[in-house]
């Protein structure tokens, strides 16, 4: 590992939060292209060695996170509380927001045919969605979209990596297509797409 790669490793470890590629390039006095290559090499070495720490790319930023394969050990050591199971209605609501964003609660309810208050509030609590402003119409309803936490949990670098959505007559809220990669979570949790690309997870912070 060269010296500049070591500096990048130290910066990512010390900061914890996502760092933009441009800031990392400035810190080591290199171009963004060169810095990108160094980070990708560092990230690959972590994965090949099955390290306890991984480097996750989120949009144009990078962040260190724990490797989810060691979640059970972390839970025993740190006494992490048991996470609540995400219900199917919450997962369906999250899928609608991910693919339709920015979207109002009224549209979510129209697609699902039921009140969305509980599901939207839970997703806000889990920091998987956020308010994205208001629609310019009478009543100015809130618009919702996904967060960077959503990208981290599902292992996406950006929203363009969402699998193609095939919508049937009665399946407007259920994505389908090729399987996607599960993501690491900085808090130790993990989301994944199932084989039929229904959004599913075993646990989320309560």
- Residue 54 neighbours by CB distance under 10 Å: 19
CATH code of the domain covering residue 182: 1.10.10.10
Q: Are residues 193 and 130 in the same domain?
A: yes
Q: For residues 15 and 46, give the distance between their C-alpha atoms in angstroms, rounded to a whole number.
A: 18
> Percent of the chain having pLDDT more than 90?
46
Question: What pLDDT is stored for residue 166 in this prediction?
Answer: 58
What pLDDT shows up at residue 146? 95
Q: Give the end of a domain, one of 66, 99, 114.
A: 66
| One domain, residues 55 and 94 | no
Predicted pLDDT at 176: 34
The pLDDT value recorded for residue 83 is 58
Give the pLDDT confidence score for residue 72 in this predicted structure.
80
Tell me, what's the pLDDT at 70? 84
Give the per-residue pLDDT at 197.
Answer: 34
> What would the 3-class secondary structure string for the chain be?
CCHHHHHHHHHHHHHCCCEEHHHHHHHCCCCHHHHHHHHHHHHHHHHHCCCCEEEEEECCEEEEEECHHHHHHHHHHHCCCCCECCCHHHHHHHHHHHHHCCEEHHHHHHHHCCCCHHHHHHHHHCCCEEEEEECCCCCCCEEEEECHHHHHHHCCCCHHHCCCCCCCCCCCCCCCCCCCCCCCCCCCCCEEECCCCCEEECCECC
Backbone angles phi, psi at 100, to 5 degrees: -105, -5
Residues of the chain with pLDDT under 50: 168-206
Number of domains in the chain: 2
Check residue 107 and give its pLDDT: 94
The predicted pLDDT at position 187 comes to: 33
C-alpha closest to that of 100 among 64, 135, 65: 135
Which residues form the domain of 137? 88-201
Both tokens assigned to 130: 């956020």
């Amino acid at each position: 590992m060269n010296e500049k790669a070591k500096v990048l490793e130290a910066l990512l470890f010390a900061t914890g939060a996502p760092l933009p590629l441009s800031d990392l390039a400035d810190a080591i006095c290199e171009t963004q292209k060169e810095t990108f290559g160094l980070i990708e090499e560092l990230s690959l070495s972590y994965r090949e060695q099955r390290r306890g720490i991984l480097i996750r790319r989120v949009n144009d930023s990078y962040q260190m996170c724990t490797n989810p394969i060691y979640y059970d050990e972390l839970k025993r050591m740190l006494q992490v509380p048991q996470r609540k199971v995400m219900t199917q209605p919450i997962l369906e609501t999250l899928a609608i927001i991910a693919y339709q964003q920015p979207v109002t609660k009224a549209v979510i309810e129209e697609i699902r045919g039921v009140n969305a208050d509980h599901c939207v509030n839970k997703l806000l609590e889990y920091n998987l969605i956020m308010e994205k402003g208001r629609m310019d119409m009478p009543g100015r309803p809130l618009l919702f979209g996904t967060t960077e936490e959503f990208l981290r949990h599902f292992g996406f670098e950006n929203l363009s990596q969402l699998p193609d959505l095939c919508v049937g007559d009665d399946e407007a809220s259920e994505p389908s297509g090729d399987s996607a990669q599960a993501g690491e979570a900085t808090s130790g949790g993990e989301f994944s797409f199932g084989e039929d690309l229904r959004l599913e997870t075993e646990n989320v912070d309560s």
